[in-house]
Structure 1
C-alpha cells in the first residue's frame, strides 16, 4: 500500500511536522510507502502533475493501492489525481481531505473529511463527505491541523446515516492512524 501526501501551499517544514506527528511510532512507516508530492506553489492544484509524480515514483505500476491524504489547496489536485489514477486502472483505497473547504468530493472510493472547526466541517459536507469524518473542537487555526495533528483534539463523526452524532473525542493524528490501520487491514 502506498500513501500519497498532497500538501497545500505553505512552508514544507509543516508537511514534515505533519508526517512526524502522524507516524509517532504507532504505525510503522515501513509498512507503507509514503510519497510526498513535492509540488511548489500552484503545482499542488494540478491533478496532472500529481499523477505524473505517482507514475514516476511507482514506475507506472498500478498494482499498489493508494491512500490519498491531502491538505487545503492540495485537495484540489489530489481529488483529480485520484480519479485519473482509477481511470488508468489503479486502485484508490481511500481519500482523506484535510481542510479542503469548498472542494466538491465525490468518487467510488471511501472519502473522509477533516476540518479545523465545526463550521468548515458542516459547510464542506454539503459538497460531499463520505463516512467517518473529523472536526477540531475546540476550533484551531487552519495550519494547526496540518502542522501538529497530534495536538489537535476533536470529534470523530459518522455522516453516513444523515446525522452527525459524536463518536468520540480524540486527536486528529489518532483519527488518521485509525483510518490508516483500517485500510491496511483490508
Structure 2
C-alpha cells in the first residue's frame, strides 16, 4: 500500500489595525521557526497584509489565502487540501472568523482558530476555537460569545497591544472553559500557551 502523506498545516496570521512591526514582534516572540518554536510538522506561516480596514473583510483574507496557497513552492492540486490554523488579533478576528467559515464551506479544513483579544466578536464554527485575552474581564465577557475548551487570560492584566507585541512576556492562566472558570489548569506565558496549542494541532 503506498505511503500517503497528509499535507502540512499552514498557519495564517490575521493582524488587527496597527503597526506591522507589532506583528513581526509577535512572530519572533513565539513563532520563530529558526529557534524551534514551531514544530517541523507545521508547514508555512502566512501573514495577511491587511491595510486599513481590510482586516475586517473575510473575502479579502480568503482571496489572499487562495492566491498564496496556489503559488506556494510545492503547490497542491487543490489549495483547499492545505489544513489551516488561524491566529488572529483584535479587529483581525472579525475577518478571520468569516474567512475560516468560508474556507470550510468551500471544502477546506480548519484545524484550529485562535482569537487573541477578539473582544465582542462572536466565535462559532465547526472546528476547535481558543480565545486569548489581555485581562480577566475580556476573557469572561468574550466567553459569553463563544469559546472552546482551552483558553488563556493575562494575570496580571496587560494593555491590549502587549499580548500581541510581546506574548513571551505576558503571564497568565490557561483555563478550560468547558468546566467553568475554575480551576485554572496552569500558569504560563501567552507564547507558551500558543506553542502548546500549535503542538496539539
TM-score (norm 1): 0.95
Q: Which residues of 2 match residues 141-152 of structure 1 at below 5 A?
A: 141-152=159-170
- In the alignment, is residue 40 of structure 1 matched against residue 51 of structure 2? yes
Task: Decide whether the 8 Å contact of 2:55 with 2:95 is kept in 1.
Answer: yes
Shift in Å at residue 160 of structure 1? 1.4
Greater alpha carbon shift after TM alignment, 3-12 vs 55-64: 55-64
**Residue in 1 aligned with 2:13?**
5
Q: State the partner residue of 2:83.
A: 65
Consecutive unaligned residues in structure 1, runs of 5 or more: none
Change (3 A) 1:62 1:107: same
Where structure 2 has 5 or more consecutive residues not aligned to the other structure, the ranges are 1-8, 71-77
Aligned length: 183
Aligned twin of 2:36: 26
Q: Which has the higher mean CA deviation after the structures are superposed, 149-158 or 53-62?
A: 53-62
Distance 2:181 2:117 in 1: 20
Normalising by structure 2, we get a TM-score of: 0.88
Counterpart of 1:50 in structure 2 is 61
Q: Which residue of 1 aligns with 2:73?
A: none
Look up the SS of the partner of 1:112 in the other structure. Answer: strand
Which residue is equivalent to 2:23?
15
Aligned Cα root-mean-square deviation (Å): 1.2
Shift of 1:32: 2.5
SS of 2:94's equivalent in the other structure is helix
Report the CA distance shift for 1:112/1:51 in structure 2 as closer, same or farther (over 3 A).
same
Query: Is the aligned partner of 1:116 residue 2:127?
Result: no
CA contact (8 A) 2:39 2:199 kept: no
Q: Deviating runs (4+, > 6 A) in structure 1?
A: none
